[in-house]
Structure 1
Amino acid sequence: MDDSGKSDGPVPSAGTKSIDDATRATEEISSEIMDLIGLKGKATEPGPRVSECGDGKDREKYYQMYHPWSLTPASGSELNGVMERLKEELPKHGWKIVQYEQDNSANKNLRLTADNDDRKFSLRIVHLAKNKRPQLSVGVVSGCYQVPDGERVDRF
Structure 2
Amino acid sequence: MNESDDIPLAGTSTSLAAADETEKVSSEIYDLIGIKGKASDTGPGVTGCSGKDEEKYFQIFHPWTFTPASPEQLDGVMERLKEELPKHGWKVVEYGRDTSKNENLELTADNDKKKHSVNIVHRAKQNPPRLSLMVVSGCYQVPEGEKVERF
Q: TM-score range by the shorter chain?
A: over 0.9
SS in 1 for 2:135: strand
- Work out which of the residue numbers 10, 13, 27 in structure 1 matches 2:9: 13
Q: Show the counterpart of 1:154.
A: 149
**2:89 equivalent to 1:98:** no
Q: Show the counterpart of 1:144.
A: 139
Q: Show the counterpart of 1:4.
A: none
**2:110 equivalent to 1:119:** no
Whichever residue aligns with residue 39 of structure 1, its letter is: I
Q: Show the counterpart of 2:30.
A: 34
SS in 1 for 2:50: coil
Task: Return 9-18 or 24-33, whichever deviates more.
Answer: 9-18
Q: TM-score, normalised by structure 2?
A: 0.96
Q: Show the counterpart of 1:48.
A: 44
**2:72 equivalent to 1:77:** yes
Which runs of 5 or more structure 2 residues have no equivalent in the other structure? none
Counterpart Cα distance in 2 of 1:154 and 1:124: 25
Q: TM-score, normalised by structure 1?
A: 0.93
How many residues in Structure 1 have an aligned counterpart in Structure 2? 150
Counterpart Cα distance in 2 of 1:91 and 1:149: 35
Q: CA deviation at 1:142?
A: 0.4
Counterpart Cα distance in 2 of 1:117 and 1:74: 32
Whichever residue aligns with residue 105 of structure 1, its letter is: S
SS in 2 for 1:35: helix
Q: Show the counterpart of 2:18.
A: 22
Which runs of 5 or more structure 1 residues have no equivalent in the other structure? 2-6
Q: Show the counterpart of 2:105.
A: 110
SS in 2 for 1:8: coil
